[in-house]
Amino acid sequence: MIPAELTLHQRRRDPTPAELASIPWLPVLLPAERERTVSQIKVGDALPGDYVCRVGRPVTYWFGVVEGLLKMSNDNEQGQSITFSGLPPGGWFGEGTVLKRESYRYNVQALRKSVVAGLPVDTFHWLLDHSIGFNRFVMNQLNERLGQFIAAREIDRMSNPDLRVARSLAALFNAVLFPGVGEVLRITQQELAYLVGLSRQRVNEALATLQEQGIIQVEYGGLRVLDLQALRTTVPMPRIKTTASPQNTTGSAAPV
């Protein structure tokens, strides 16, 4: 059981072999680089609502999601929360902030019980100075992240709720940024509603529409993508809602 009275930082520990195996950039390191780096990695067991990082706090780690689901967000001038991205397993984030050694401009919070890994800032910069493979990984991350946030701006301007849900789901199935997701995303409808900015009921309707069109399959505890390209590009067609037909005096269905 995780002690709730301890902060996430106080709950940090050494990673298990299985947790290390889930870190997508470790395989690109040379043996000596990997040996030095693994000794510096820490993981923390986050409870729902725990902040991994907060606006204005100095950067200390480059973070990644081993298990669970996080939300990256900020508050606008009216005090409303704006979600930038969901962060499922395999996702490492904040490399731009770590590169510049600046304070965080966003909040990252656990939506459910999660395991978060952290690489100290100084080790991150040491790898930049010594590892070609790590540099390529970070450059690829930055390039993919740029596309992600451009897409997020487009999603914010969409008035079609079904389209918002489809594109938001597609972003979570990005194999480059979130390699730990695979074909099935473990997420509840309420968690997806938090990320998309819609009600749980409206998200449920959108998922039903996408499932009827053969784009996704709703499974126990998650969602399976059947056609990722359609999720990224297709405009979902509204569902045709049927009502019970009135009955005639003979008890048979009346003609439409």
Taking only the tens place, the pLDDT of each residue in 196-228 is 888 999 999 999 999 999 999 999 889 999 999
d(CA 31, CA 41): 15
Mean pLDDT of all residues in the chain?
A: 87
* Confidence check: pLDDT of 7 > 80: yes
- Could you tell me the pLDDT band of residue 16, with boundaries at 50, 70 and 90? very high
Question: Which fold does the domain 159-240 belong to in CATH?
Answer: Arc Repressor Mutant, subunit A (1.10.10)
d(CA 120, CA 117): 10
CB 115 within 8 Å of CB 67: yes
Enumerate the domain spans of the chain: 1-157, 159-240
pLDDT of residue 153: 67
What residues contact 64, with CB distance under 8 A and at least 6 apart? 23, 90, 91, 92, 93, 116, 117, 118, 119
CATH number of the domain located at residue range(s) 1-157 in this protein: 2.60.120.10
* Confidence check: pLDDT of 251 > 50: no
pLDDT of residue 84: 83
- Whether the model clears a pTM of 0.85, i.e. scores above it, the answer is no
pLDDT of residue 112: 94
SS3 (DSSP) at 212: helix
Taking only the tens place, the pLDDT of each residue in 84-94 is 889 999 999 99
Taking only the tens place, the pLDDT of each residue in 157-200 is 667 889 889 988 999 999 999 999 988 999 999 999 999 888 99
* Confidence check: pLDDT of 254 > 70: no
pLDDT of residue 155: 64
